[in-house]
Amino acid sequence: MKYYSEAHEWIKVEDDEAIIGISEYAAEELGDITYVELPIEEDDVVVGDTLGVIESVKAASDVYSPIGGTITEVNADLEENPGLVNESAEGNGWICKLNNIDVSELDGLMTPDAYVKYLKSLA
């Protein structure tokens, strides 16, 4: 199952690995994404650390890590094709993977239903 943060990141955990991206809502808000500054493999992060930056023509949005861990892989496809985030923010447009995670940190995040409610409250 995916979990969502208030800053519009999503995270999915499989075995000991987490995969992180930004939500479709966030991607739409940004408009055409022009560049993704990816995190660096092997870096350690804690909750709230900046994983990277997503840039559109007129805005730049920090991506915050919803969980602590070590970056194992970044989505290299985004280098050539940042538009992937627009096409499939919650699928092929993922940003990075982490291990060494503590699943209890997921407790503070929202389920997909809770996130939908949250989005409605922002409107």
Nearer to other proteins, 68 or 83 (CB): 83
Q: Which stretch binds other proteins (CB under 8 A): 16-24, 53-61, 96-104, 106-114?
A: 53-61
Q: Please report whether residue 79 would count as binding other proteins according to CB under 8 A.
A: no
28: Cα separation from own chain's centroid: 14
Residues in CB range of 74: below 8 A, 6 or more apart = 38, 39, 40, 41, 95, 96, 97
Q: Which is nearer to other proteins, 38 or 110 (CB)?
A: 38
Interface with other proteins, residue 87, by CB under 8 A: no
- Of 7 and 101, the one with the shorter C-beta distance to other proteins is 7
17 touches other proteins (CB under 8 A): no
Q: Using CB under 8 A, which of 60, 103, 114, 116 touches other proteins?
A: 60
By the criterion CB under 8 A, which residues form the site for other proteins?
32, 34-35, 37, 53, 55-60, 62, 82-83
